[in-house]
Each structure stands twice: as C-alpha cells, then as structure tokens.
Homo-oligomer: A and B are copies of this chain.
Amino acid sequence: MDKNEVNIGLIGFGTIGAGVVEIFNKNQDILSKKVGKQVNLKKVADLDITTDRGVKIDSKLLTTNVNDVLEDEDIDIVIELIGGYEPAKTFILKAMKNGKHVVSANKALIAKHWEELIATANENNVRFSFEASVGGGIPLLQPLNESLAANRFEAIYGIMNGTANYILTKMSLEGSKFDDVLKIAQEKGYAEADPTFDIEGHDTAQKLIILAKLAFGEYVPQENFYVEGISQINAEDIEFASKELNYVIKLLGIAKKTEDSLEIRVHPTFMEKNHLLASVNDVFNAVYIVGDFVGPVMLYGQGAGRMATASAVVGDCLDIIFNESKRISYGPVISQVNKIKDIGDTISKFYISLNVLDKPGVLQTITKILDKNGISIESITQKSSLENEEAPIIIVSHETKEKNIQEAIAKVNDLDEVKGEIKLIRILGD
C-alpha cells in the first residue's frame, strides 16, 4: 500500500454492502482527501448481482466469482459482509493468506473463531478490523483498544441489541405486552420473522465476547456464560418497578472484573431511572465502560442499520490505510483474568415477583426462607388480591449471591401457597 491508490474489494452486496457502495458514491472525495490517497471500490462480489440494491453501481464492478476479489493482486483490503460461518470464514482466511487486510461486521464468526482469525491475520502480517461487529456505527472497539488503552478496565455494561431495546422501550412507555410489541417490531422491520437470536440474548452475548476479549484479554466462548433473554418479561413487572421503585429495564451484556476473576453474563436488568443507560431508548445501543483511571465512559449511537454499520466498515478501511504500520489487529491483549466466575457466585440486588394465596402467615413463611438463605430484604410489597384470591408479592433484596437467591427461590417455589412462576430480575448495582 505504498502506492498512491488503495483498492478495496467487497464480498456481499446485501443491505450493509449496498450501504458501503452508497458511502463511496457520496463521500469518496472526502475519504480520499482524509487519507491522502485515492481510495477505490474495485470489485463487488455476490452470487446475486441482478437484484436492484437501490444504489448506483458501475456494472463492471460486479462479479459472481469471489476469486475476482480474493485473487486480484491490486486489491489491498477485502470487506466481508456475507455473514454466517461459512463460506465467510474460508473467504476471510484466504484473503489474509493472499496478503490482504480484512474488514468484517461478522460478529457470530468472530465471537466463535476469534483465535484462528486473529492468528491468521498476524501470521500473514495483515490487519483484521471489525468495528462494525459490535454496536454498529458506534466507535467502540477502537476507543476501547486505543484511546482508553492507559486503563485497566473494571466493567462493561452494554445495551447492544436494538430489537430487544425497542421492545423493552415500547413495553415501558406504553405498558404493552411483549407479544404485541414484538408483532409491531416485526411489522416495522425492527425484528426478524424468527426473533430468537435477538430477544433471547444470543446476539448480545456474541458482542459481549468481543468486548470482553478486548477489555480483559480473555476469550470466553458463549457456552461458558449465562445468557437470559427478554421473552419472559411481563408488562406488570415493568410498570410496578417504574412506578414504585423508579426502575427501568434493559437487556444488558455485563462483563466485570472482581479481583482476578471475570463475571460475564447477559440478562434483563433493572436500573435506576437516572442511570445514563436508562435513557438509551428504541433501537439505539450504548456501551458503558468503567476504567480505573478514566472512570465511566459511555458510547452511544445506532447499533444496527445499513448506513450506520456501513459507516463503521468504511471507517475501518480508512484506519487501515491511514495507519499502515499498525500490524496487529486490536493489540496484543494480555489476559488479566485467572478464572471466569460462575453466575452463582456473582452478586446482585434482586427483584422477585410471585403470586401467593391470600392467607395469613404466607408472607412470614417466605421471608423466613429468605432470611435462612442469608438474604436481607430492602422492600416488600403485597398487592391486593386478584379475583382468584391470589395476591402478587414484590420483593426487592439487598445485594446477595446469586446462588443464595436461587436456593431460596427453589424452596419458596415448593410452598403450596405459591402459585405460578416466580420471576427473578437482577438489579444493577452502583
């Protein structure tokens, strides 16, 4: 790349790929001026090159043969935007082996095959950048790895799934039920036909794996940590927590260092309304990072969407061109972690919601069980009976170990007076 011209090849002409083409159409002049070289989009490969993608493109750039990108000696940087594990992985590895820098937004692939992808990039002395894989257009990986590099990180709290955040925002603001809001989100295109990946926390988990590796130097595969989604959250709990406790609910990815061990988990979380994350609404994402010197930093923006994601993809390309000598992708991060903490050993405050038969002594029996398990109670509210003589009870605990709560809940659940499912929602501490 010492020449005065840099050529980029794009694999995948879908939604985000078309966004990248649009950036080149509109802003190619400033991109080239910013890096001081002519930056060209030289080839765009996709199996389908006949569908109209809604952007202008010279048809000579289009090809159905991926090797027109991977084997073109004039191409310096390959952008992979086809997603999924294969053939994306094969294409990326081949590009690296052919001496090309690679930019990708493929969080699933990176979260799963981190070691192999990074190792191959380093062996071949090429850059591998993936700012777009977490938080869409939000500058996250570069600040974490560069601007904030003087810090040891203490914690990361991320709202990283737009679909889940949209649903929780609507449930909160309008008191709607999960299923109803999901349907609206699907109609608006904010949720997939099969929304499992987003609403059950898997998407958040993949992004958290990438952030945790960069912040704490430790790669934790998804099967090794606790992931809970939002499909079981009901409107009554959101409303009660808002009115009576001044809480807002968000689906959080949490990675937190305590002494030498790392907590990593994804679950719906109540937090005080005056926490800055509580104001992150609709499809927006934000990541709240705590460093030992910088203190808290929050980075906010559009976590998905064609143009915001394409902005991060092109930003990565410019960074590669501009910082030619930087050969290692996102730094050689040394693990600062000795063990991964089991979810049972993590400490939270808890919101517990259950229905009991409205009989004397029930409340006392329950509080006795909590007390025996070392759980102290911050507040307890018994609401008036429902028609079927069941009364909802809401308990907020002080900070306690997760396994103490789980044991206590199991015992409470065995009581004849307790009806239906007990809901447990973790509350963000200070």
Show the binding face of A for B, using Cβ within 8 Å.
19, 22-23, 26-27, 30-31, 33-36, 131, 137-139, 142-143, 146-152, 274, 276, 279-281, 286, 291-302, 305, 307-308, 310-315, 318-319, 322-326, 328, 331-334, 336
Let me know if B302 and A299 touch, CB within 8 A.
no
Instruction: Give Cα A328 to B146, complex, Å.
Output: 17
Let me know if B301 and A146 touch, CB within 8 A.
no
Chain B residues closer than 8 Å to A138, beta-carbon distance: 297
Let me know if B23 and A297 touch, CB within 8 A.
no
16 A-B pairs in the complex with CB atoms less than 8 angstroms apart:
A27-B151, A27-B293, A35-B331, A137-B148, A147-B315, A149-B319, A150-B313, A151-B311, A293-B308, A294-B311, A295-B305, A296-B301, A296-B302, A298-B298, A323-B326, A325-B326
Contact of A31 among B149, B281, B299, B336 (CB under 8 A): B149
Chain B residues closer than 8 Å to A325, beta-carbon distance: 323-326
Tell me the minimal C-beta distance from A217 to chain B in angstroms: 9
Instruction: Give Cα A296 to B314, complex, Å.
Output: 17
Let me know if A31 and B307 touch, CB within 8 A.
no
Tell me the minimal C-beta distance from A425 to chain B in angstroms: 23
Say whether, besides A142-B142, A322-B326, A334-B33, A297 and B150 are in contact (CB < 8 Å): no
Instruction: Give Cα A312 to B312, complex, Å.
Output: 22
Chain B residues closer than 8 Å to A276, beta-carbon distance: 279-280, 300
Task: Find the B residue at minimum CB distance from A291.
Answer: B311
Let me know if A297 and B300 touch, CB within 8 A.
yes
Chain B residues closer than 8 Å to A294, beta-carbon distance: 137, 301-302, 307-308, 311-312
**6 tightest A-B contacts by CB?**
A139-B147, A325-B325, A150-B314, A139-B143, A137-B294, A297-B301
Say whether, besides A148-B311, A291-B311, A314-B150, A300 and B298 are in contact (CB < 8 Å): yes
Number of copies: 2
Tell me the minimal C-beta distance from A216 to chain B in angstroms: 11
Let me know if A30 and B334 touch, CB within 8 A.
yes
Say whether, besides A293-B307, A324-B325, A334-B33, A315 and B137 are in contact (CB < 8 Å): no
Tell me the minimal C-beta distance from A213 to chain B in angstroms: 14
Let me know if A310 and B150 touch, CB within 8 A.
yes
Let me know if A26 and B292 touch, CB within 8 A.
yes
Instruction: Give Cα A19 to B150, complex, Å.
Output: 11
Q: A26-B292, A139-B299 are in contact. List 11 more A-B contacts (CB 8 A).
A: A36-B328, A137-B293, A139-B297, A147-B319, A151-B311, A274-B281, A276-B280, A294-B308, A294-B312, A296-B301, A323-B323
Let me know if A333 and B34 touch, CB within 8 A.
yes
Say whether, besides A279-B276, A332-B34, A295 and B137 are in contact (CB < 8 Å): yes
Tell me the minimal C-beta distance from A272 to chain B in angstroms: 12
Instruction: Give Cα A334 to B34, complex, Å.
Output: 8
Instruction: Give Cα A315 to B148, complex, Å.
Output: 6
Chain B residues closer than 8 Å to A307, beta-carbon distance: 293-295
Contact of A34 among B279, B292, B331 (CB under 8 A): B331
Instruction: Give Cα A76 to B283, complex, Å.
Output: 45
Task: Find the B residue at minimum CB distance from A279.
Answer: B279
Let me know if B150 and A139 touch, CB within 8 A.
no
Tell me the minimal C-beta distance from A328 to chain B in angstroms: 7
Chain B residues closer than 8 Å to A328, beta-carbon distance: 36
Say whether, besides A302-B296, A332-B36, A152 and B27 are in contact (CB < 8 Å): yes
Chain B residues closer than 8 Å to A149, beta-carbon distance: 31, 34, 314-315, 318-319, 322
Chain B residues closer than 8 Å to A23, beta-carbon distance: 150, 293
Instruction: Give Cα A314 to B146, complex, Å.
Output: 10
Instruction: Give Cα A31 to B336, complex, Å.
Output: 13
Let me know if B311 and A293 touch, CB within 8 A.
yes
Tell me the minimal C-beta distance from A16 to chain B in angstroms: 11
Tell me the minimal C-beta distance from A273 to chain B in angstroms: 10
